[in-house]
């Protein structure tokens, strides 16, 4: 161990974008139980920086303030990745960690992995081995680059283990621990249940749909985005849709002149737009929704555990277990298919799912126990 003390690990935990925060929160909590074995610092790259995209999550999840904020912000993929690398390299040189932990598949995940490995620092990837096989997704490129470099690959399901093995990763690097995002969900479910967010918005439990949309392939093309909203408007004739809007999507809807879709009618039907919500308020809305329409990765997993039908507006998923075992259907972005999938839910043709193995709230504990014993 480079830190001088025997059996002592100095760890840099990295987060960058919204879906990273709920994955890292339980890992930090679990690490706090090992003060004699682990020293850890939290690095925020600043990929997401708006109050509602970043700080609100730290507050809701009881996460410590980042020890180091790289303040990188938005930019093209190359700009963002490059900026994170330049700034994170400096942090690694100053802090000299034994290990860097990255989560998920965002640009910050890949950028920090490459940087640390080139400095000879070990890296662990939490949520390794997921594959959509769709190289037009920036996240797929991030996943592949990250996994090929990492020393320890913590996986959410046996399918991810198989993907890694098929790519030639040695067995001893692959550790199936379950899903840390579900740790966070289970820790906060009771708290979220008590909120009145839905009622305050005039929504009855089970009488609305939840929507999130931010994937470039859905929102960066006017025709595709318009087609999706034609379908959504039609669903919203029967079931109001609540839509916490991602800044990227808001920007594109304004550019394409599609904001007329974002209206709740006087009879309570239509699309109710909100700013991006904090973790607890969002969880409250999702757990009480009749169905969720989304292009998010994490939400496919959360709805599976909550038993809420999920309609994924993408052509593929890196999380097939949510389809095989959970409540998810992956249907693309064609209007007729979206309407048919929503009708299946409305007419009761969708049966509840099964919670995958080790999605039990203890995944972060498994990761930290493993690191303390093996890293």
Using alpha carbons, select from 208, 237, 209, 211 the residue that is nearest to residue 333. Answer: 211
Positive/negative CA dihedral, 172, 176, 179, 183: negative
* CB closer to ligand UD1, 149 vs 346: 149
Rounded to the nearest whole angstrom, what is the least distance from the CB of residue 351 to ligand UD1 in the complex?
28
Which of 44, 188, 214, 246 is catalytic? The answer is: 214
Nearer to ligand UD1, 53 or 201 (CB): 53
Using CA atoms, how far apart are residues 98 and 10, in angstroms rounded to an integer? 5
Of residues 19 and 320, the one with the C-beta less far from ligand UD1:
19
Q: Which segments of the chain does DSSP mark as H helices, in order?
A: 18-31, 56-61, 77-95, 107-118, 138-149, 158-166, 180-193, 197-200, 216-219, 222-235, 247-255, 279-287, 298-306, 321-324, 335-346, 363-374
Residues that bind ligand UD1 (CB under 6 A): 17-19, 47-50, 53, 74, 105-107, 138-139, 214, 246-248, 251
CB-CB contact of 105 with 146 (8 Å): yes
Least separation in angstroms between residue 250's CB and ligand UD1 is 8
The nearer residue to ligand UD1, 245 or 342, going by C-beta atoms, is 245
What tokens appear for 202 in the block?
A: 């005039």
Q: In the complex with ligand UD1, which residue's Cβ is closer, 131 or 214?
A: 214
In angstroms, give the least distance from the CB of 190 to ligand UD1: 26
Q: How far apart are CA 335 and CA 340, in angstroms?
A: 9
Rounded least distance, CB 312 to ligand UD1, Å: 13
| Shortest distance in whole angstroms from residue 243 CB to ligand UD1 | 14
Closest by alpha carbon to 230, among 252, 258, 211?
258
In the complex, the smallest distance separating the C-beta of residue 298 from ligand UD1, rounded to whole angstroms, is: 8
Within 10 A of 105 (CB to CB), how many other CB atoms are there? 29
DSSP 49: -
Is the CB of 15 or the CB of 91 nearer to ligand UD1?
A: 15
Decide if 315 is catalytic. Answer: no
Sign of the alpha-carbon dihedral angle for 255, 258, 264, 269: negative
Q: How far is CA 196 from CA 6, 53, 110, 283, 288, in A?
A: 50, 21, 38, 12, 11
Cite the active site residues.
214
């Amino acid at each position: 161990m480079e830190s001088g003390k025997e059996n002592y690990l100095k760890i840099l935990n990295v987060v960058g974008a919204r879906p990273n925060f709920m994955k890292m929160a339980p890992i930090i909590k679990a690490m706090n139980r090992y003060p004699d074995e682990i020293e850890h610092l939290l690095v925020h790259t600043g990929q997401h920086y708006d109050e509602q995209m970043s700080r609100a999550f730290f507050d809701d999840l009881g996460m410590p303030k980042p020890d180091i904020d790289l303040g990188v912000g938005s930019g093209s993929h190359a700009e963002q990745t490059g900026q994170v690398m330049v700034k994170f390299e400096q942090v690694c040189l100053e802090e000299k960690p034994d290990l860097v932990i990255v989560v998920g598949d965002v640009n910050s995940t890949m950028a920090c992995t490459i940087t640390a490995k080139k400095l000879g620092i070990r890296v662990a990837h939490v949520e390794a081995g997921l594959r959509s096989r769709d190289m037009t997704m920036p996240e797929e490129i991030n996943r592949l680059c990250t996994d090929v470099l990492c020393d320890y690959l913590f996986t959410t399901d046996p399918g991810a283990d198989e993907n890694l093995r098929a790519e030639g990763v040695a067995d001893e690097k692959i550790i199936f621990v379950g899903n840390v995002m579900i740790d966070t969900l289970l820790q906060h479910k009771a708290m979220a249940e008590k909120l009145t967010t839905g009622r305050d918005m005039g929504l009855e439990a089970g009488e609305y749909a939840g929507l999130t949309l931010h994937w470039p392939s859905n929102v960066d093309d006017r025709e595709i985005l318009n087609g999706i909203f034609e379908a959504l408007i039609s669903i919203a004739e029967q079931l109001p849709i609540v839509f916490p809007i991602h800044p990227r999507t808001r920007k594109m809807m304004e550019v394409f002149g599609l904001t007329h879709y974002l209206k709740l009618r006087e009879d309570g039907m239509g699309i109710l737009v909100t700013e991006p919500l904090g973790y607890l308020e969002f969880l409250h809305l999702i757990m009480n929704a009749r169905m969720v329409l989304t292009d998010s990765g994490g939400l496919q997993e959360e709805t599976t555990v909550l038993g809420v039908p999920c309609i994924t507006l993408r052509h593929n998923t890196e999380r097939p277990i949510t389809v095989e075992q959970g409540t998810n259907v992956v249907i693309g972005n064609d209007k007729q298919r979206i309407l048919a999938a929503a009708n299946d839910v409305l007419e009761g043709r969708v049966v509840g799912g099964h919670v995958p193995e080790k999605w039990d709230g203890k995944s972060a504990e498994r990761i930290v126990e493993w690191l303390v014993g093996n890293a």
